[in-house]
Structure 1
């Protein structure tokens, strides 16, 4: 029995005066009068403590706002986009509505059983985030797999600005190769300017540094070095280094899952173009203070290459001049044929390669046979400088492919 009931019963049934009851139970006479009034109007149960919550709340979320929050949640989930409270608030603002706080939106979603608890989710306090200070300071790149309607596997190559999360390029290939990486990178750089650095994993399309040094730099590494761009690679078996683009792949695949499955590579790339527009311009990013990647990308001056920092690249190779007087050397991911001369056929040579500069000497006598700088536009490097002579019959089949860098 509550204290209020005891006071009323002591006065009503035991004959205590109001003054005596107030003194015995340590309350004011005014409060005893109030309890007796309540009992007279509503019975003994009316003296129980009343809730302190106000009868009306001018800040209460209206039914119309609640319905719009739930509708936006459904629309965003169906579209395969982020549908959290922050994103919903951003969309409400775009609709010229005054959104409630994100905690209120979260409460509305919880009440409607639209949020699944994640008790094992890693706490944000345990994360140590790295973020570039300027746009174009670092571009992250990676590719992920996606199947067409008939099960054909494709690979989607992405370039993401580390500072703003701006999606610079998103293109599907079958498959991704060093050539497609270089071509996509150069096309992207033509649109947005050169980055100061790149950050990728150790896939062979990005680097040969874990290939035991065989074949020197690949075409992507060579291109970065030539442009003075710092190349950074994550530690093997440690994808957290490229955490932003790994997380981005989840966002991309969630959106693709909500779309009709593409039947051709062309169809898929059309979907990716649409996604890139939504991701950059129509989707706020929590890490960017609810700005879109496009807004964050243009808000700060861009960084630019400050010079290569990956160090000079030296190679040493012992070889033998073939019967046609030529040596073969891989440079920038392609085989180059070096003209030495028939007089040296069968000679064992030592080649010292410093980037594009090659010094060739007789491995026995040390005599310098030839020094040259490889022309990356040509497969065949003739002995004489200037115009290449008409190839002899033994040279046929060695083409001058000047259309590829």
Structure 2
């Protein structure tokens, strides 16, 4: 008989090791403590944006869906709006709007349904889908936009919510705040709530995972990452831009804002801006052709196209 007073008691680890050696237990990885998880964090702002949507009720019980874009590195909430429901068009429009404010990310991380929600009449991600003849399906609108911009597309694995753990935790914080603030009767009022929440979340609420800084402090502390593409044997920085009413695009070069001549025929149209050192290329995203090129002159504010 074991005498616990006179003999050392084996540790829990020793007991588990002996039981496992004799195949008397079955490992259950899903029950591992959080210390076993591999924590991922992007190294720079805009290196990766996470996105997902969550359900939230109106005052009369009507269901809405809130779509959010979250910077992985800093936890900065870049965008949050309510819709009934989120559609594939919503994903594209909110992504483009967020790029207009923060610049494009180097990559995105969403689940498969997020790319174009099936319940909203769209189709899931086509990256891994194939037709009846075994050939890959054509990319949907969001996937094509990412490909055009040189943005790396990442999708979380099915039944693995920890892949998008940051935005899942953000959803919990958002819902607690909305519950405390009270249900509202209209989408417009809910969007106003979300705008107020974004200010609090980004600037007033320190986050333990980023050194007790606020997300906005972490987002603005270092240089942003950006997408790149290879063309003409060069690596070009990519920007998704809109030509202004005067037919120009603004870009910062050599410490000053420069205005690139594009042409009034392109006013208010969205284009791709590729930058490599002092050289630029402006590409029509619809037609794919080069519509303007520049070699930037640091002595001039207005840059005429070649």
TM class by smaller structure: 0.5 to 0.7
Matches within 5 A, 1:42-81: none
SS of 1:128 mapped into structure 2: coil
Partner of 1:191: 101
Partner of 2:74: 164
Q: Which among 189, 208, 225 is matched to residue 267 of structure 1?
A: 189
**Distance in 2 (alpha carbons) for counterparts of 1:253 and 1:292:** 19
SS of 2:170 mapped into structure 1: helix
Q: Which among 206, 218, 235 is matched to residue 140 of structure 2?
A: 218
**Distance in 2 (alpha carbons) for counterparts of 1:210 and 1:228:** 19
Superposition RMSD in Å: 2.2
Partner of 1:130: 40
SS of 1:134 mapped into structure 2: coil
SS of 2:81 mapped into structure 1: strand
Q: Which structure shows the bigger proportion of residues in strand conformation?
A: 2
Matches within 5 A, 1:8-23: none
Q: CA deviation at 1:128?
A: 1.8
Q: Which among 227, 237, 240 is matched to residue 305 of structure 1?
A: 227
Say if 1:234 and 1:307 are closer, same or farther in 2 by CA, change over 3 A.
farther
Q: Which among 190, 205, 208 is matched to residue 283 of structure 1?
A: 205
Q: CA deviation at 1:306?
A: 2.2
**Distance in 1 (alpha carbons) for counterparts of 2:169 and 2:74:** 14
**Distance in 1 (alpha carbons) for counterparts of 2:221 and 2:166:** 20
Partner of 1:145: 55
Larger Rg: 1
**Distance in 2 (alpha carbons) for counterparts of 1:293 and 1:158:** 15
Deviations along 1:69-103, one digit per CA (max 9) or x if unpaired, are xxxxxxxxxxxxxxxxxxxxxxxxxxxxxxxxxxx
Q: CA deviation at 1:376?
A: 4.2
**Distance in 2 (alpha carbons) for counterparts of 1:290 and 1:122:** 27
**Distance in 2 (alpha carbons) for counterparts of 1:208 and 1:248:** 27
**Distance in 2 (alpha carbons) for counterparts of 1:122 and 1:158:** 29
**Distance in 1 (alpha carbons) for counterparts of 2:54 and 2:33:** 27
Q: CA deviation at 1:173?
A: 0.7
SS of 1:168 mapped into structure 2: strand
SS of 2:38 mapped into structure 1: coil
Q: Give the TM-score of the pair, scaled to structure 1.
A: 0.45
Q: Which among 142, 158, 164 is matched to residue 236 of structure 1?
A: 158
SS of 2:229 mapped into structure 1: coil
Q: Which among 203, 208, 215 is matched to residue 126 of structure 2?
A: 208
**Distance in 2 (alpha carbons) for counterparts of 1:122 and 1:257:** 32
Say if 1:211 and 1:124 are closer, same or farther in 2 by CA, change over 3 A.
closer
Aligned residue pairs total 192
The structure showing larger relative contact order (alpha-carbon pairs under 8 Å, at least 6 residues apart) is 2
Deviations along 1:128-163, one digit per CA (max 9) or x if unpaired, are 210000000000010000010111111000000000
Q: CA deviation at 1:236?
A: 1.7
Q: Contact 1:136 / 1:194 at 8 angstroms: preserved in 2?
A: yes
**Distance in 1 (alpha carbons) for counterparts of 2:166 and 2:58:** 25
Instruction: List 4+ stretches of structure 1 deviating above 6 A.
Output: none
SS of 2:112 mapped into structure 1: coil
Partner of 1:344: none
Matches within 5 A, 1:35-114: none
Work out whether 1:155 is the aligned partner of 2:77: no
**Distance in 2 (alpha carbons) for counterparts of 1:212 and 1:238:** 23
**Distance in 2 (alpha carbons) for counterparts of 1:149 and 1:194:** 36
Deviations along 1:334-362, one digit per CA (max 9) or x if unpaired, are xxxxxxxxxxxxxxxxxxxxxxxxxxxxx
